[in-house]
């Protein structure tokens, strides 16, 4: 019997989302007969988690995350709780878990883990660099620029930014996820653009400013180098933000998406190409927007997508006839 460590929680703004994913995967692996340890590296050498903590319906505050030290990850990875395991399943979303840091620590310690390697994770997490690779490989992605936290936001600068993206902009942390710190500005109001930049800078020193693509939102999971059926996301109101992602009934999901067969196959091919261009393995999920002409635009790729039983990847897997437990089995056996 394999002894498996499932990493969850962590010290990123996606801490609570990670707990949901990690606990669901751990439960599935237990049902499959594996010996499973649940670990939260935020607690260092005392990382064993016996019971699921209460999870609020919001992201953790900076004060909550400030209680933890990044060096705790080193203590966790080098502890016997982890070194005695045969393989690690990393369900840490966001910085310190999805950006190559914990993958590097595991590699340095010679500990086997499933999923994409440190370089692929770092490239995918850095949205601007990933978009450079997408564009160079012929994968259509919206026009973008980056704005550093120390940039002087003069009226002239903001006006130039507005002129560069006339149909609206999406502003988000360059390295982040779960739409935390993301804003959509279509008003053209300079104060709104400035506020959006400061909101993104609260989570990352670099803000990604991207051309807004109005239209449908779809996502494609890749599992064991095969693209699964496409999921269309339809928020009940507004856009697919943190609340719409993690509040039951706030969004509708259409699986498989109602698309022309040729277009669906094209989008799935783009998702597989994005997976390969970044050097990913295991399970990934690539997000797209479809404009009014049906042109897909690749937004980003997630190397550690949500894995609760109601998350997008398991929805796509079910449409392909793969149960949640079998999906978790694939995660272990095909890496």
Choose, from 34, 203, 212, 246, the residue flagged as catalytic: 246
Choose, from 100, 285, 289, 311, the residue flagged as catalytic: 285
- Rounded to 5, what percent of the chain is helix, strand, coil? 35, 20, 45
Is 178 in the active site?
Answer: yes
User: Cα–Cα distance between 86 and 255 in angstroms, integer?
Assistant: 35
Choose, from 178, 183, 281, 311, the residue flagged as catalytic: 178
Choose, from 14, 40, 192, 204, the residue flagged as catalytic: 14
User: Cα–Cα distance between 174 and 207 in angstroms, integer?
Assistant: 5
Choose, from 27, 40, 204, 300, the residue flagged as catalytic: 300
Strand 206-211, strand 144-148: pairing:
antiparallel
User: Cα–Cα distance between 149 and 165 in angstroms, integer?
Assistant: 20
**CB 270, CB 296: distance < 8 Å:** yes
Contact partners, residue 276, CB within 8 Å, separation at least 6: none
Is 246 in the active site?
Answer: yes
Is 300 in the active site?
Answer: yes
State the first-to-last Cα distance of the chain, in angstroms, to the nearest integer: 17
Choose, from 212, 287, 289, 311, the residue flagged as catalytic: 287
Q: Which residues are catalytic?
A: 14, 178, 246, 285, 287, 300, 302, 306
């Amino acid at each position: 019997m394999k002894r498996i460590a499932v990493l969850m929680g962590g010290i990123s703004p996606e801490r609570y989302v990670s707990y949901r994913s990690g606990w669901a995967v751990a439960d599935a692996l237990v049902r499959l007969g594996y010996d499973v340890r649940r670990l939260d590296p935020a607690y260092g050498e005392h990382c064993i988690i016996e019971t699921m903590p209460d999870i609020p319906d919001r992201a953790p505050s900076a004060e909550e995350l400030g209680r933890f030290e990044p060096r705790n990850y080193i203590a966790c990875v080098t502890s016997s709780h982890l070194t005695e395991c045969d393989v690690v399943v990393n369900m840490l979303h966001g910085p310190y878990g999805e950006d190559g840091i914990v993958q590097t620590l595991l590699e340095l310690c010679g500990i086997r883990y499933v999923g994409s390697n440190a370089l692929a994770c770092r490239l995918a997490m850095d949205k601007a660099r990933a978009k450079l690779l997408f564009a160079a490989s012929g994968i259509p992605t919206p026009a973008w620029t980056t704005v550093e936290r120390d940039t002087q936001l003069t009226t002239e600068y903001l006006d130039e930014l507005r002129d560069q993206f006339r149909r609206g902009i999406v502003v988000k942390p360059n390295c982040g996820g779960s739409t935390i710190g993301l804003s959509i500005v279509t008003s053209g109001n300079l104060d709104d653009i400035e506020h959006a930049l400061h909101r993104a800078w609260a989570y990352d020193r670099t803000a990604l400013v991207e051309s807004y693509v109005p239209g449908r939102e779809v996502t494609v999971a890749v599992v064991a180098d095969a693209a699964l059926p496409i999921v269309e996301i339809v928020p009940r109101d507004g856009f697919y933000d943190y609340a719409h992602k993690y509040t039951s009934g706030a969004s509708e999901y259409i699986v498989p998406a109602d698309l022309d067969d040729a277009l669906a196959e094209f989008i799935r091919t783009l998702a597989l190409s994005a997976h390969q261009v970044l050097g990913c393995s295991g399970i990934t999920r690539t997000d797209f927007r479809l404009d009014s002409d049906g042109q897909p635009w690749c937004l980003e790729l997630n190397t550690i997508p949500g894995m609760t039983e109601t998350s997008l990847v398991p929805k796509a897997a079910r449409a392909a006839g793969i149960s949640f437990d079998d999906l978790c089995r694939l995660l272990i056996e095909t890496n």
